[in-house]
Amino acid sequence: MNVVVGVGALSADEVVSVARLGAQVTLAPEALQEIARSREVVKALADDAKPHYGVSTGFGALATRHIPTELRTQLQRSLVRSHAAGSGPEVEREVVRALMLLRLSTLATGRTGVRTETAEAYAALLNAGITPVVHEYGSLGCSGDLAPLAHCALAVMGEGVVRTADGERKPAAEALAEAGITPVVLEEKEGLALINGTDGMLGMLVLAGHDLRRLLSTADIAAAMSVEGQLGTDAVFAADLQAMRPHPGQGDSAGNLRSLLADSAIIASHAGPDCTYVQDAYSLRCTPQVHGTARDTLAHAMLVASRELASAVDNPVVTLDGRVESNGNFHGAPVAAVLDFLAITVADVASISERRTDRFLDPARNRGLNAFLADDPGVDSGHMIAQYTQAAIVSELKRLATPASVDSIPSSAMQEDHVSMGWAAARKLRRAIDGLGRVLAVELYTAARALDLRAPLTPAPATAAVRDGLRETVEGPGTDRWLAPEIEEAVQYVASGRALAAAESVTGALV
């Protein structure tokens, strides 16, 4: 696949294709023309006696110093070197690729004043699979993701450390030479243009949105299996009941549940007038309300992402009519807030999943199943500790739901006196999404065992397909086995999308 980077916005799918799937990129001809046109504006300002921020001045709190022409190359080089100050573990390859692509997208708008060869160097690194080493800590989310972006700019200059396409860590100069890429010598304004952006937090938001869409559909699958396995009712998911509270996500989740539970012999077995149960517990009955809230939250977050993808974030910027103006568009607040919002709703979806799982294990609540779904309770412990694993993750997710964006630590001698902490919000959301996938996998794993234990009653065709897919790598009920490998198989079943695909082979596309 080839992604064309033009003057307009990239789509979320294009970002995922380049970041995660290694798609190649090409700069559109109109983007190259616009880059060249705005570069002429910057060149005209370079000789102006009037100081222009980022062109002929220092940066941040040092913006009052006028920099003579002969020192401006050093100025840009020094800016990148000094701002490449990250620390801690390496950031994932897909995040760095997303960050670089989104910076390239802003360069392609022509609003930053860089040269065409600088933009082309970013495209060349992406296409060669060269990934700068970026570290966990260093960004305050204002003036954008300075330190992570600076590590990328450093690599384009032929300095610092990178990973090659096969994952080997080596000096950037060596990797660029092997790929036939000429390092860039930055000129006026270019260093600043390469590091002023929300690209890291935005890239992680786009990737999170892609993963969450699949996980929220999988959450409906796991919930349907739990409703069925616990002899719950699907009557509460009726369309007319859900329409009385017309939140879009709630309606979508309920619709999924109806499709997944259609033609279930297990549910039919207790749906008659002789059933004495009045109503199911909240963790079963209120699934659409909780899962739907997550869907609506995600929809809002992706609306913000779409606006950010259409933005040209730099400071200063070259306007359409040729002015060079300072601005505050690099502040990460819009992105940081929805990253935190998603972490909150991720914790809630995981929490209700864990509660549904726990009900399976308690003979006072599981409606006729063995304690802990054990083969011989007392001798066997069944899925007792699988729920402990869920509980530990859910507890962590609650801590990760504490907003990062409410914090701010002033920096740059009080010039940057209010920051977004959007990078931190994005980093914790990535951990939260991984945790949610694991929690849902344990619920699915436990619910599949319960469905087997309801034999000779048969589950719905859709939930049976999901259970049968899991059974390809995880055995059914029996005496205690080593659980950790089986849980990991379930995690991969969820994360790979195979569980969702199994359900959709019966239901068609779930929402």
Q: Where in the chain is the domain with CATH 1.10.275.10?
A: 2-196
Token pair belonging to 221: 């699958």
CATH 1.20.200.10 domain span(s) along the chain: 205-407+417-507
Do the beta carbons of residue 148 and residue 423 sit within 8 Å? Answer: yes
Tens digit of pLDDT at every position of the chain (511 positions): 899 999 999 999 999 999 999 999 999 999 999 999 999 998 888 777 677 776 767 666 566 677 777 787 888 999 999 999 999 999 999 999 999 999 999 999 999 999 999 999 999 999 999 999 999 999 998 878 999 999 999 999 999 999 999 999 999 999 999 999 999 999 989 999 999 999 999 999 999 999 999 999 999 999 999 999 999 999 999 999 999 999 999 999 999 999 999 999 999 999 877 776 768 999 999 999 999 999 999 999 999 999 999 999 998 899 999 888 889 999 999 999 999 999 999 999 999 999 999 999 999 999 999 999 999 999 999 999 999 999 999 999 999 999 999 999 988 878 888 999 999 999 999 999 999 999 999 999 999 999 999 999 999 999 999 999 999 999 999 999 999 999 999 999 999 999 999 999 999 999 9
Report whether 373 contacts 477 (CB < 8 A).
yes
Contact between residue 87 and residue 147 where contact means Cβ atoms under 8 Å apart: no
Q: Which pLDDT score is estimated for 46?
A: 74
Q: What are the respective helix, strand and coil percentages of the chain, to the nearest 5?
A: 60, 5, 35
CB 107 within 8 A of CB 189: no
CATH superfamily of 205-407+417-507: Fumarase/aspartase (Central domain) (1.20.200.10)
Token duo for residue 74 = 């050093």
Is there a cis peptide before residue 171, judged by omega within 30 degrees of 0?
no
- Residue that has been written with the tokens 């319960």 in this structure: 450
Which residue, 263, 4, 257, 289, is CA-closest to 126? 4
Active-site residue set: 53
Instruction: For residue 308, give both structure tokens.
Output: 């950010």
Nearest-10 Cα torsion for 300, 303, 305, 309: -170
The DSSP bridge partners found for residue 318 are 324
Burial class of 364 by CB neighbour count within 10 A (0 to 12, 13 to 18, 19+): exposed
Residue 307 tokens read as 């606006």
Query: CATH classification of 2-196 is 1.10.275.10, yes or no?
Result: yes
DSSP β-ladder status, 169-171 and 87-90: unpaired
Say what the pLDDT of residue 90 is.
Answer: 98
| Lookup: tokens for 243 | 């329409």
Residues in the chain: 511
pTM score: 0.95
Q: How far apart are CA 148 and CA 100, in angstroms?
A: 10
Calculated CA dihedral for residues 337, 340, 341, 344, nearest 10 degrees: -160
Question: How many whole angstroms separate alpha carbon 448 and alpha carbon 463?
Answer: 8
Q: What are the structure tokens assigned to 500, written together? A: 């969702």
Please name the amino acid found at residue 224: A
